[in-house]
Amino acid sequence: MLTIIRSELRGSWPAWLGVALGFVMTSFALALSAMVFQSAFLAREVIVPAMEADAYLANGGTNFVLSLIVGLSVVASSTELVVQSRRGAVARMSLVGSTPSGVVTTVVSQLGVVALLSAVIGNLLAVAAVRPALDYLQYERGAESAGIPTPAVIDPRVLIGVGVIWVVVAIGAGLRQAWQASRIPPVEALRQAQGAQSNKIRLGWGRWLRAVLALLMLAIFWGLIPVLAANRDSETFTQIMQMNVLGLCVMGWFLAELAPRITRPVTAAWTRLVPTRSPAWTMARATVLAKADRLSRSVVPVMFSIGLAFGLIVLPASLNAIFRASGFNTQLEHVGVAPFLANLGLALMVAMSGSIGSLFMMSKQRDADLALLGIAGATPRQRIATGALEAVMITGTATILGALMAVETIAYLSYGATAVKLTFAFEFPLLGVLGTILITGLATAVPTVLPSLRSLQLPEPKVVARLIAE
């Protein structure tokens, strides 16, 4: 068994390398959040004023939860992509006599090794970043005036604990996929490895359960607003905003659980409205819609990136509009991007790294698609354009779903502001939003198109044969 595991790990490392970036960033975010929390907890008697310590405690805890929510969704999508890409290897293991439990053990062992290495790298990066992170929090809060820096506490026990949590989470995210792959007949696994997929996607009970849990959390957040408003004090609106930030990620989690069912219809709907008869657009649309599984797993991390970026842009602008409409003559000092970046920055980094890693990882599957188009008569220019337009479609669908995340958080902001007797006002920074979509589109296009340029120089049958062999 150990020989098989080592052999498969050597053969699969390019696939795991494609998603390792998301793994490392998630581990980094969790470790850094935990160290910020512990540093603030142990410095409660040092920081002046004392309430700053509570603010840092809340920041560390919030970042840990947000990074975990986003990380779970991104890691689950990434892991599914890797397992999907290894269907051919799974089939060959079954053909030579491996039992389903042996296949599961092999896949999970690979996942465990990658997760452990990611945890080590992430912890090392977090140790280097904890001091700058605490300094940034003091700067953002204006606490630097106290002249007492928050001591940076680096506890190996915390790092080991977070690392263990991350490895368990990563293995748990891939266990279901590994078990499903092990139970697919070898011939069917080979057929799927060659790109034959069904668009009839069924959500398992686990996804439905997690979607209901996310909705329940959102309902609790909404239900707490009148409770907090009834006991209004100076921190009420701050508490509402903290729940709003958390709700933004939970809404993304809800959409991520439903992604296998909603991404294809959403993509089909909006792409049908594009007034073009371009052959490249037609080929890209047909390819994207035919690969429903790949589409949903590509969209999820990009959706989180766009949705969180929308939150960073729209929430501060709308908050300032609310304060102006409510009679505040000056913009409050700490209402800006900085406090939201302190709470959403790590989760956004996790989402963006997961997006880039997943798209790079899928390059070999995309190479085969483009090679088949070449065999069918498409020119090299049309094939490059098809890859670029696939990135456009992924970004478009992710933008629509990310906008739904933003709509929920703005609606929550409206309800919360009205509950505490503030005048709701909404501000939409058009240039910032368009810039976010453009940057995300470029970030999606680069890992989608660049890896395929080299394969376009190879004979199409060789590209297809290589994918089948792997």
Quick check: 251 and 408 in contact, CB under 8 A? yes
Maximal C-alpha separation, the chain: 75
Query: What element of type H or E holds 339?
Result: helix 337-361
d(CA 369, CA 364): 9
The radius of gyration of the chain from alpha carbons, rounded to an integer in Å, stands at: 24
- Both tokens of residue 213? 């849990």
Who contacts 160 (Cβ-Cβ below 8 Å, separation ≥6)? none
Quick check: 257 and 278 in contact, CB under 8 A? no
- Compute the residue count for the chain: 470
pLDDT band, very low/low/confident/very high, at 91 (cuts 50, 70, 90): low
Quick check: 447 and 360 in contact, CB under 8 A? yes
Report, as an integer, the average pLDDT of 445-462: 66
- As a whole-number percent, the residues of the chain with pLDDT over 90 amount to 21
What three-state secondary structure class fits 189?
helix
Q: Each residue of 155-204: pLDDT tens digit?
A: 889 899 988 988 888 787 777 766 766 666 655 555 554 444 545 566 77
**pLDDT at residue 4 in the model:** 58
Q: Is the pLDDT of residue 117 over 80?
A: yes
d(CA 40, CA 55): 9
d(CA 456, CA 8): 28
Average pLDDT of the chain?
Answer: 79
- Both tokens of residue 98? 């491996």
**pLDDT at residue 333 in the model:** 47
d(CA 271, CA 381): 21
d(CA 64, CA 158): 13
- Location of structure tokens 């709308």: 318
Give the DSSP per-residue string, 42-105. HTTTTSSSTHHHHHHHHHHHHHHHHHHHHHHHHHHHHHHHHHHHTHHHHHHHHHTT--HHHHHH
**pLDDT at residue 196 in the model:** 47
Quick check: 51 and 111 in contact, CB under 8 A? no
**pLDDT at residue 172 in the model:** 77
Report, as an integer, the average pLDDT of 77-99: 67
Q: Each residue of 325-339: pLDDT tens digit?
A: 887 764 444 556 667
**pLDDT at residue 30 in the model:** 92
Quick check: 249 and 308 in contact, CB under 8 A? yes
- Both tokens of residue 366? 């995309």
- Predicted TM-score (pTM) of the model is 0.82
Per the model's pLDDT, the better-predicted residue between 123 and 82 turns out to be 123
What three-state secondary structure class fits 399?
helix
Quick check: 227 and 195 in contact, CB under 8 A? no
Helix-strand-coil percent breakdown of the chain, rounded to 5? 85, 0, 15
**pLDDT at residue 2 in the model:** 61
Give the DSSP per-residue string, 224-258. HHHHHHHT--TTHHHHHHHHHHHHHHHHHHHHHHH
- 14: preceding bond cis by omega (within 30 degrees): no
Determine the distance from the C-alpha atom of residue 244 to the mean position of all C-alpha atoms in its chain, rounded to a whole number: 18
**Alpha helix (H) residue ranges in 183-235:** 186-193, 205-230
Pick the closest to residue 352 from 398, 313, 409, 306 (CA basis): 306
The C-alpha angle with vertex 277 and arms to 272 and 280, in degrees rounded to 5, equals 95
d(CA 282, CA 75): 31
- Both tokens of residue 263? 């991404």
Who contacts 96 (Cβ-Cβ below 8 Å, separation ≥6)? none
- As a whole-number percent, the residues of the chain with pLDDT over 70 amount to 72
d(CA 446, CA 286): 21
C-alpha distances out from residue 279 to 265, 350, 429, 437, 453, Å: 21, 36, 35, 25, 19
Who contacts 109 (Cβ-Cβ below 8 Å, separation ≥6)? 5, 9
Query: What element of type H or E holds 264?
Result: helix 236-272
Q: Is the pLDDT of residue 9 over 70?
A: no
Quick check: 1 and 105 in contact, CB under 8 A? yes
- Both tokens of residue 359? 């798209």
